[in-house]
Every structure is written in structure tokens, then in C-alpha cells.
Amino acid sequence: MTGPAGADPWAADRALARRCVRGDDGAWSELVHRFGARIYSHCRLAGLAPADAEDVSQEVLVSAFRSLGSYAGCSLATWLYRLTRRRIADHFRSPQRRLVPSAGIGAAAERPSGDDPERALASAAEARRIRHALATLTEPARSILVAYYLYETPVREIAGEMEMPVNTVKSHLHRGRLALRRHLEDRS
């Protein structure tokens, strides 16, 4: 988010969080509408089965609702991304976890929308290809690419969240892009 010099780039996010804390149902609906699909997508990209991705997404939203009073200092997307990463890690530590083979991530059902069915199907196929390619990447490149492109998190914030130098994040981002491009070109 950019704005005039000196402007608080996350003031709108903090205002939305304050409205949620005050019990404004419309604000909570807005937050879920803005971020719910991203949270679910991140869960699926991490390799969770659809049912598990739904469960973890709900856990993230419940956790967010309970802890919105402590939110401050970054974009809501970044804050929710942190919560999502923690919940995914908890899920993988759980003995009841159910993993999806990497091919399963790319084969997830799409919900094409729009007026042009051919274009919608082409978009769905491309989304499956990209998800499959992302699933082949190693960590932390996958998480960095997801944070940067899906959550639109600035490199500095990713570095802070992942506790690594900015140049290391940039390096992982660069190598991840190259690996993703190679994988997609090989599959063309």
C-alpha cells in the first residue's frame, strides 16, 4: 500500500480491526470477504487436503477474531499470513494430519466464473498449473512466493516475519521465480 509521504499505510487495516473488536458485524464480514479465500489458498498451497484447508482456515479466522485487539504495526494480510503459517505448522505437527500429494494440489476443483466459459476454463487450468508448480518448490521459496504474490507482502515484512535478512528473502524470491518458470516451461 502506498500513499503520501509520512502517511500510515495500514491505517485502514487498523480501523477495520478496531471496528471488528467493537463488534461491528459488517467489519468482520468485510475482513472475511477480503482474506478468507487467501487463507484457504495458502492452506491448499501448503499441501492440505480440501477439508483440512477448510478446517485450518476456520481456525485462523477464529484465532484472528480472538486476537484482533492485539493486532498492530503491519498489514492485515501479513498478520493473517503469520496466523495461517502457524496454524498450518500446528496441523502438520498433529498426528491426525492428512497430506495431499503434490499432484493433488494442482488437481483441486476450480470454480470458473465470468461470462466467457472458455476463458474461465483456461484460467482455471492455468491456476492448477501454477499451484502444481508451486507445490514442487522447496521451503522457504514457496512461502516467500506465496507471501509476496498472493498476500502482496513487501519483502521487508517477509524478512521480518521469517527472521532472515532482506537480501536472503530477495535471493529466495529470485530462485523461486526461476524454478517456477522452469517448471511451467517444462510442462508447456
Q: Extract the C-alpha cell encoding 132.
A: 502444481
Does the pLDDT at position 36 exceed 80?
A: yes
User: What per-residue confidence (pLDDT) applies to 103?
Assistant: 37
Hey, what domains does the chain have and what are their CATH numbers?
9-100 (1.10.1740.10)
Dist. CA 70–CA 89, nearest whole Å:
21
Closest C-alpha among 86, 180, 103, 188 to residue 137:
180
Which of 62-71, 115-124, 154-163 is predicted with the least confidence, judged by mean pLDDT? 115-124
Closest C-alpha among 142, 39, 36 to residue 84:
39
Q: Extract the C-alpha cell encoding 168.
A: 536472503
Residue listed under C-alpha cell 493486532: 71
Q: Extract the C-alpha cell encoding 186.
A: 517444462
Does the pLDDT at position 154 exceed 80?
A: yes
Residue 168's pLDDT band, with cuts at 50, 70 and 90, is very high
Work out the number of other CB atoms within 10 angstroms of the CB of residue 43: 24
Give the distance from CA 47 to its chain's centroid. Answer: 13
* pTM of the complete model: 0.58
Q: What is the DSSP letter of 95?
A: T
Stretch 81-110: mean pLDDT, rounded? 61
Does the pLDDT at position 101 exceed 50?
A: no
Cα-Cα-Cα-Cα torsion 39, 40, 46, 50, nearest 10 degrees, comes to 160
Nearby residues of 178 by Cβ (< 8 Å), 6 or more positions away: none
Dist. CA 147–CA 166, nearest whole Å:
14
Which tens digit of pLDDT belongs to each residue from 53-93? 899 999 999 999 999 988 877 788 888 988 998 898 888 77
- Alpha helices (runs of H) in 22-95, residue ranges in sequence order: 25-45, 50-67, 76-93
Nearby residues of 64 by Cβ (< 8 Å), 6 or more positions away: 31, 79, 80, 83
